[in-house]
A and B are shown apart, each in its own frame.
Chain A
């Protein structure tokens, strides 16, 4: 007894200390966040409806059980009614109860069906914005198909994101408000799921499939979500951050992105010969964002699915094979073909870095021109 009380006292201290310490965190809730699209609002409403119906039913069941628990107990001298099942109610309850439940079910199913039709089918709209969402281990790729812009979105380490850790990314998914957006979901490796609660679209990203969802965002703001399908080691590190802005700001942002892309391409295709130091410096930063999620910053990988690059036969072997793996990928494994999304300079820098880092002292220098030739 004494120990029990003592133990409880300790819990009390822990509880108070911990709940007190976390008051600073403002964002936490017990229900869906405020919807930011029409379909999310509909979903919110159907959620509240079913929850209210469920709560009502629960209260009815609880009321009957507790009434019975209190009044029909032996200690109160209650005598069991051995003929209860033999009343008209006992004879017909098997029909009455299902009929009542069916009524409730139909109420829920009817309302749900109305919402489902609205949410499920992507509306036909001339002004539809297509965004292809590709899940990777462990980052998101957003491809604005109508604008030729690609965004790679990765989590931000705790040191830089602070309280937003695991809810913050380096490059946000910027979307216009008041315009219908169609998301096309697919995956490059394993299953992922795109989930932003404010937009209420959750859909699995399945390799070999393209699934679709849609949203029309009705207010500006930053909406945060996470990958919702277990996708391996760093499943917890796949946040999604949507930044909803007005149409003008969105178009301006697209122009910026395109300009930056043109500039990078110009830099890459300029017939400049880069020094080893320049390439390694660039390569390290590219590697750490693009490759380190699987192959790790230290190059040791996560074998066997993600092999080590430190001391790897490919990295230490002939350059042509190394280039081939990076540009074309390894079919049937998680290694994607990077040729489409990285320019010559980026690939050259990454390969130079890989062939000289972590004790891989090949001394090789790869120039953008070499990459171009290999493609």
Chain B
């Protein structure tokens, strides 16, 4: 198997801190991305636990309203920019070169930069949270992650920290995206055409283009906010001829494609996990690629469905409604392809597959509540209620986070060379999924009954479901400690993993040792290995 591992100084690597700080190795950088994401996930999770603890009962028990809103803001930003995106970038760094037979990413030093911006950004983000607790630190960020002016103009200096944190995070992800695009377009093994590329690479190619297109728009928006705050411009101030709604358009022009940025890499993971454990090629490779391109394209032009209540014209809302409903076509096709891949397969249910099945079921549910939300008149009721909170957690947890969990369990033996503890992993899966459903399912009812989102205190009529939701959240939150334990245990040791970890796995990465040598594919893979794919166009 390991014809490419034993060659000369493939395993030569720097030692000590230099190995990590100066690293240009895609595997090490991938590892750092993943560890960073794991750390941030616990920060974001802790803020979510505090939020749910506060909402356990009516009344203000733990958190001052501003601190509550500050946590709401931070939870979203940390989870999106700190946990999900870096984790997906970590998977990309680790797997893309292995999958396409490239020796490393195309731009290794930029790779180092795009990772090392992240800790700096995380510090900035952390400062934006803690600065108000120091004397003269100003007020807390109580705007939610959407940062809508004029409220965000009222906030103290912590908003400036946040704006710069967003700039840094944006730079980091644009650099990473450029690197991924260049790698995928230039570094594929001879003979691997675009339409033979593994699906995970395809999803990341589209994601990277999306990021490059939309992140600068967000950066522009928050920069204008910064100017409004300090330099007397009035981009968003109606009194100075500006327009508060303009910011919302800029924000959601970024924000809606961002949803697909979070989703697509996980869809890519599914496209590997499901064929592996169904022992059957991916159904409809071409239609997957087409559907993904359609999602990305339509997803760019339906942003205003997040703002149905701002008072747009009838024509505009009709367009955004129809556009949004239309997205269900390519997404439905993706889900169909996954089910068709399972259909008449010979399935086994290791942890990655369990997550994959959970994603298909729960993401479909979240997608369907999304169709309900797309209907403008009905959205007049759902908008900014807990129903929306339930909906997007049903989309993003299964759609993005569970996909990342599936990917981590799927490739962890490849990365570490050890099998993870299957029994513990299964316990993690069940507590995680059940905790998740107990947390978010009742929030649909809360929203329909009339509970707005982002409120720190609520009327007694909302007590029951909030209580259930908080109990679920504690189970859900604590279950991640088990994940941490499993990951550490696997890194430290365990049953030796073979090169081809899973019986039904195909692809170039399974032709390398587990763990792979420090430098891999220094000579391109042979034609015979290239034909070992799940994808049958």
Residues of chain A touching chain B, judged by Cβ–Cβ distance below 8 Å, are 11, 14-15, 18-19, 22, 25, 27-33, 39, 42-43, 46-47, 50-51, 54-55, 57-58, 61-62, 64-65, 68-69, 72-75, 78-82, 84-85, 90, 93-94, 97-98, 101-102, 104-105, 108-109, 112-113, 115-117, 119-121, 163-167, 185, 189-191, 193, 195, 197, 200-204, 206-209, 211-212, 224-237, 302-305, 331-332, 334
Given contacts A25-B460, A65-B339, A201-B380, contact A74 B279 (CB under 8 A): yes
Contact B461 A25 (CB under 8 A): yes
Cβ contact within 8 Å between B336 and A332: no
Contact B332 A101 (CB under 8 A): yes
- Tell whether, in the assembled complex, residue B463 and residue A22 are in contact, meaning their CB atoms are under 8 Å apart: yes
Per-residue interface assignment for chain B, residues 447 to 460, with 1 indicating a CB less than 8 Å from any chain A CB and 0 otherwise: 01111111111111
CA–CA, A224 and B284, complex, Å: 51
The answer to whether A193 touches B384, judged by C-beta atoms less than 8 angstroms apart, is yes
CA distance A207 to B244 in the complex (A): 8
Asked if A42 contacts B343 (CB within 8 A), the reply is no
- Partner-binding segment picked from B105-113, B371-379, B398-406: B371-379
- CB pair A209–B381 under 8 Å, yes or no, is no
Contacts of A69 in B (CB 8 A): 342, 347, 357
**A115 and B377 contact, Cβ closer than 8 Å, known pairs A29-B448, A81-B344, A90-B283:** yes
Identify the closest chain A residue to B280 (Cβ): A80
B322 touches A109 (CB 8 A): yes
Known: A32-B448, A80-B344. 16 other contacts (CB 8 A): A14-B471, A25-B460, A64-B343, A65-B339, A65-B342, A68-B347, A85-B284, A98-B333, A112-B377, A163-B460, A165-B460, A195-B452, A202-B384, A204-B309, A230-B144, A235-B456
A15 with B384: CB separation less than 8 A: no
Which of B337, B349, B385 interacts with A228 by CB under 8 Å?
Answer: B385
Contact yes or no, B139 A47, CB < 8 A: no
A-B contact pairs, 30 of them (CB 8 A): A29-B449, A43-B380, A46-B375, A47-B375, A55-B368, A68-B344, A69-B342, A74-B346, A81-B344, A93-B287, A94-B284, A98-B332, A105-B326, A105-B329, A112-B378, A113-B318, A116-B377, A120-B317, A120-B377, A166-B459, A193-B383, A193-B384, A200-B381, A202-B384, A206-B245, A208-B238, A228-B453, A230-B69, A231-B151, A233-B65
Q: Please, which residues of chain A bring their CB within 8 A of the CB of B339?
A: 61, 64-65, 68
How far apart are the CA atoms of A202 and B337 in the complex, in Å? 38
Contact of B151 among A14, A19, A65, A230 (CB under 8 A): A230
Task: Select one of A30, A204, A235 contacting B454, CB under 8 A.
Answer: A235
List CB contacts (< 8 Å) of B15-66 with chain A. Answer: 58, 65-66
By a CB distance below 8 angstroms, the chain A residues around B383 are 193, 202, 228
- Docked Cα-Cα span, A264 to B155, in Å, equals 38
Q: How far is the CB of B149 from chain A (nearest CB, A)?
A: 8
Is residue B351 within 8 Å, beta carbon to beta carbon, of the partner chain?
Answer: no
Shortest distance between the CB of B89 and any CB in chain A (Å): 30
CB < 8 Å neighbour of A206 from B278, B310, B345, B360: B310
Task: Report A-chain residues with C-beta under 8 Å of the C-beta of B377.
Answer: 39, 42-43, 46, 112, 115-116, 119-120
Q: Is the interface of B mostly helix, strand, loop or mixed?
A: helix
B314 within 8 A of partner (CB): yes
Chain B: which residue is nearest A56 at the CB level?
B368
Given A74-B348, A81-B344, residue A230 in contact with residue B372 (CB < 8 A): no
* Residue B156 CB within 8 A of the other chain: yes
**Alpha-carbon distance A190/B372, docked complex (angstroms):** 29
Contact B139 A105 (CB under 8 A): no
Also in contact, A61 and B65, with CB within 8 A (given A74-B347, A84-B344, A112-B376): no
Q: Are A57 and B368 in contact (CB under 8 A)?
A: yes
Most buried by A among B281, B284, B380, B456: B380
Across chains A and B, the number of contacting residue pairs, with CB separation under 8 Å, is 308
Query: Which positions in B face A, CB cutoff 8 Å?
Result: 58, 65-66, 69, 138-139, 142-144, 148, 150-151, 154-156, 237-239, 243-245, 278-281, 283-284, 286-287, 290, 309-311, 314, 317-318, 321-322, 325-326, 328-330, 332-333, 335-337, 339-340, 342-349, 357, 360-361, 364-365, 368-369, 371-372, 375-378, 380-381, 383-385, 445, 448-464, 467, 471, 536
Specify which of A22, A185, A233 lies most central, judged by the most chain B CB atoms within 10 Å of its CB: A233
Q: Given A94-B284, A226-B450, A62 and B344 touching (CB < 8 A)?
A: no
Distance (Å) between the CB of A95 and the closest chain B CB? 9
- A117 pairs with B314, CB closer than 8 A: yes
Chain A residues, CB < 8 A from B347: 68-69, 72-74, 78
- In the complex, which of the residues B143, B328, B340, B345 contacts A93, with contact meaning CB atoms closer than 8 Å? B340
Is the pair A94, B139 in contact by a Cβ cutoff of 8 Å?
Answer: no
A236 partner, pick from B65, B346, B378, beta carbons under 8 A: B65
- Return B66 CB to nearest CB of chain A, in Å: 5
Minimum CB–CB distance for A255 against chain B, Å: 33
In the bound complex, how far is the Cα of B444 from the Cα of A30, in angstroms?
Answer: 8
Task: List A contacts of B156 (CB < 8 A).
Answer: 304
B372 adjacent to A54 (CB under 8 Å): yes
Contacts A80-B278, A212-B311 given; does A25 touch B463 at CB 8 Å: yes
Report the minimum CB–CB distance from A39 to chain B (whole Å).
8
Q: Which residue of B lies closest to A82 (CB)?
A: B280
Shortest 7 CB-CB contacts between residues of A and residues of B: A208-B238, A211-B311, A94-B287, A81-B344, A54-B368, A236-B455, A305-B154
Q: Which of A54, A82, A208 contacts B239 (CB 8 A)?
A: A208
- On whether the beta carbons of A208 and B243 are closer than 8 Å, the reply is yes
CB-CB nearest in chain A for B385: A228
Q: How far is the CA of A69 from the CA of B314 in the complex (A)?
A: 45
B54 CB to closest chain A CB (Å) equals 11
A58 near B344: Cβ-Cβ < 8 Å: no
Shortest distance between the CB of B389 and any CB in chain A (Å): 12
Q: What are the residues of chain B within 8 A of A43 when measuring CB–CB? A: 377-378, 380-381
A54 neighbours in B (Cβ, 8 Å): 368-369, 371-372
Whether B372 contacts A47 by the Cβ 8 Å rule is: yes
Given contacts A80-B278, A204-B309, contact A190 B150 (CB under 8 A): yes
**Residues of chain B within 8 A of A212, CB atoms compared:** 311
Give Cα distance in the complex from A362 to B286, angstroms. Answer: 80
How far apart sit A31 and B290, CA to CA, in the bound complex (Å)?
38
Q: Is the CB of B449 within 8 A of A33?
A: yes
In the complex, what distance in Å separates the CA atom of A78 from the CA atom of B279?
11
Tell me the nearest residue of chain B to A81, going by C-beta. Answer: B344
Q: Give the distance in Å from the alpha carbon of A212 to the alpha carbon of B311 in the complex.
A: 7
